């Protein structure tokens, strides 16, 4: 879709001088809601989201890119959103994750390491009659359907 492509260009242009920020995704929903998810290695501020929103909104209006009325929403990905980019995995090293694999298997554990091909998690494995042990498991990124950070309220 041309709108999404143009929006990606505008966001990249706005954050080009901020190497710690990165675009996660752009989605134009059928209800004319334009969603932009931007994140940062150390998170992203409301001020940054507002500045990106103003930049994108201004240029879309100037260029008349979207002919119908639309809502523009710029935010960091929500807590329940799956990780999409290697950079998101990297910023979540040390956190508990839930990884859904092809075939429906789910693995949970602490995210230890990220490479271009895989992630490594440390999971508690309990065999019947034995004490639970921590086991490092490498998971191929191409076999991962979805990874979400687990939120702990302890």
Q: 3-state class of 145 per DSSP?
A: strand
Output the pTM of the full model.
0.85
Strand partners, 140: 118
- Distance, CA of 56 to CA of 75 (rounded, Å): 13
CATH class, range 86-149: mainly beta
- DSSP annotation of 75 reads E
For 146, phi and psi rounded to 5 degrees? -160, 140
- Residues 24, 88: contact at Cβ < 8 Å? yes
Distance of CA 90 to the CA centre of its chain: 11
State pLDDT tens for residues 130-154. Answer: 888 999 999 999 999 999 999 877 7
2-75 has CATH 3.30.300.70 classification: yes
Answer yes or no: is pLDDT of 53 > 70: yes
Helix (H) or strand (E) holding 8: helix 2-15
Domain ranges in the chain are 2-75, 86-149
The tens digit of pLDDT for each residue in 111-132 reads 999 999 999 999 988 888 888 8
């Amino acid at each position: 879709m041309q709108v999404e492509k143009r929006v990606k260009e505008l966001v990249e242009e706005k954050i080009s001088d901020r190497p710690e920020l990165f675009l996660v995704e752009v989605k134009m929903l059928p209800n004319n809601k334009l969603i932009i998810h931007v994140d940062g290695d150390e998170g992203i501020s409301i001020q940054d989201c507002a500045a990106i929103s103003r930049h994108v909104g201004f240029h879309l209006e100037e260029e008349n890119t979207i002919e119908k009325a639309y809502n523009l929403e710029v935010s960091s990905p929500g807590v329940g959103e799956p990780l999409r980019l290697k950079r998101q995995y990297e910023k979540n090293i040390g956190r508990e994750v839930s990884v859904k694999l092809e075939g429906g298997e789910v693995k949970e554990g602490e995210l230890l390491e990220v490479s271009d091909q895989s992630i490594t998690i440390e999971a508690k494995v309990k065999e019947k009659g034995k004490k639970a042990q921590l086991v490092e498991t490498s998971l191929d990124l191409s076999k991962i359907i979805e990874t979400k950070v687990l939120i702990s309220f302890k």
